[in-house]
Amino acid sequence: MKARWDIFCSVVDNYGDIGVTWRLARQLVAEQGCAVRLWVDDLRAFERMCPDIDVQVHQQWQEGVDVRYWPGDWPATEAADVVIAAFACQLPPDYMEAMAACERTPLWMNLDYLSAEDWVVGCHGLPSVKFKGVQKYFFFPGFRPGTGGLLREAGLLEQRDTFQRDAAARQQFLQALGVFPAAGARMISLFAYENARLASWLDVLAADGRATHLLVPEGRILGDVQRWLGVDSLSVGDVQQRDALTVQVLPFVRQEQYDRLLWCCDFNAVRGEDSFVRAQWAGRPLLWHIYRQDEDIHLDKLDAFLELYTEGLSPAAKTALVTLWQAWNADGDMAQSWKMLLEHWPEVTAHAEKWALEQGSRTDLATALVQFYVNWI
């Protein structure tokens, strides 16, 4: 009999939480043979990830996953064998009572936020709180051995390599999105939160001796792009050019299409957690806009990742990369730091490919979760 999994996702902000849980749910079904219910409290946010979703229907099947609306008035529901509270969301009290009433206690895990901080290895897999005899465990995704790893579908890097080697496939994909870059243009994707430093970066791209085609999926950064261009509005399909820089607004696409967009680009600016991980699998240099937290504790997470990610780079290339990321996340000088990075472009590109291979050699998150359950039984 298949193990039954319940994944709870409370959509707090943006699309990172639903992006992670939707990928995880599909992978558990497709690759691990699990029966998965995905409980989501905001189906309209989910619709951006899965356009086939019917936001009026509270129970439906999507790609083998039993998608359920998580209502405020919780219905009587039998607890699953494995219960995942994504990103420390609070389970419905009545569901917790149902867990406690089970003849066989479910495995209850808090799937936490991704971090490269040292303490994560020590806390991964440890017991947390109890509810009437039901033990909850910490489960941390991560980049180091001893953590839960990263979301990575079977054969993902091989698919990426095949796509990146096939110029015709890349051209066909881009043309389907209405993208026709000039020959030899540098391709950059930009998915970020609002950022006051964007203008200085766009200024230096526009003044560059090499053409840049900037692809901007619709999102929160669009207002900053619009102000820099000095236009009244920007919408999907718009293409604007200033000197060496062409800016194009793309629609919010399915996750598989977004992966391919990242694979097409020479450089990817991403945000949050889901797109951050997918940009790493692209094997291309990247820039992470980390989600801001109170008292700037997000900068500790940023520094921890940079310390790990830059291992093996030459001192000059490491300085260039760290300076760029810190400028983007802490109101620094994007113009000068971008020029510094360009001086080390071949090295940081080779390093990004090596990093993806290294991370890809480790157990993926879905497999690690299933192994944790099997060991727990």
Torsion of CA 182, 159, 161, 319, to 10 degrees: 80
Residues 352 and 368 placed together within one structural domain of the fold: no
Q: Does one domain contain both 312 and 268?
A: yes
Q: Is the pLDDT of residue 13 over 70?
A: no
pLDDT at site 1:
64
Domain co-membership, 71 together with 218: no
Q: What is the CATH number of the domain that holds 339?
A: 3.40.50.2000
Residues 85 and 193 in one domain: no
Residues 311 and 371 in one domain: no
Q: Are residues 227 and 305 in the same domain?
A: yes
Whether residues 198 and 53 share a domain: the answer is no
Which pTM does this prediction carry? 0.95
* Residue 285, SS3 per DSSP: coil
How confident is the model at residue 297, as a pLDDT? 75
- Distance separating alpha carbons of residues 66 and 62, to the nearest angstrom: 7
Total number of domains in the chain: 2
Q: For position 272, what pLDDT does the model report?
A: 86
118 plus 208 within the same structural domain: no
Integer Cα distance of 277 and 11 in angstroms: 19
pLDDT at 158 over 90: yes
The answer on pLDDT for 160 being more than 80 is yes
Return the pLDDT at 217: 94
Rounded Cα–Cα distance for residues 289 and 272 (Å): 7
pLDDT over threshold 80, residue 16: no
- What is the pLDDT of the chain when averaged over all its residues? 95
| DSSP H helical ranges for 16-116 | 16-32, 43-49, 93-101
122 shares its domain with 161: no
Reading the block at residue 11, the tokens are 């959509």
Across 49-77, average pLDDT: 94
Are 96 and 218 part of one and the same domain?
Answer: no
User: pLDDT exceeding 70 applies to what percent of the chain?
Assistant: 98
What's the token pair of residue 320? 């260039």
pLDDT at position 313:
98
**Percentage above 90 pLDDT, the chain:** 89
Longest dimension (CA), the chain: 69
- Residue 243 CA: distances (Å) to CA of 163, 186, 211, 213, 258: 31, 14, 8, 11, 27
What confidence tens digit (pLDDT) does each residue in 291-320 have? 877 766 788 999 999 999 999 999 999 999
Verify that 18 and 111 share a domain, yes or no: yes
Structural domain range at position 167? 156-360
Q: What is the CATH number of the domain that holds 62?
A: 3.40.50
pLDDT at residue number 331: 83
Per-residue pLDDT, averaged over 269-284, amounts to 96
And the tokens for 332? 């620094």
Query: Do both 13 and 116 map to the same domain?
Result: yes
Task: Give catalytic residue positions.
Answer: 17, 273
Lowest mean pLDDT across 20-29, 37-46, 254-263, 296-305: 296-305
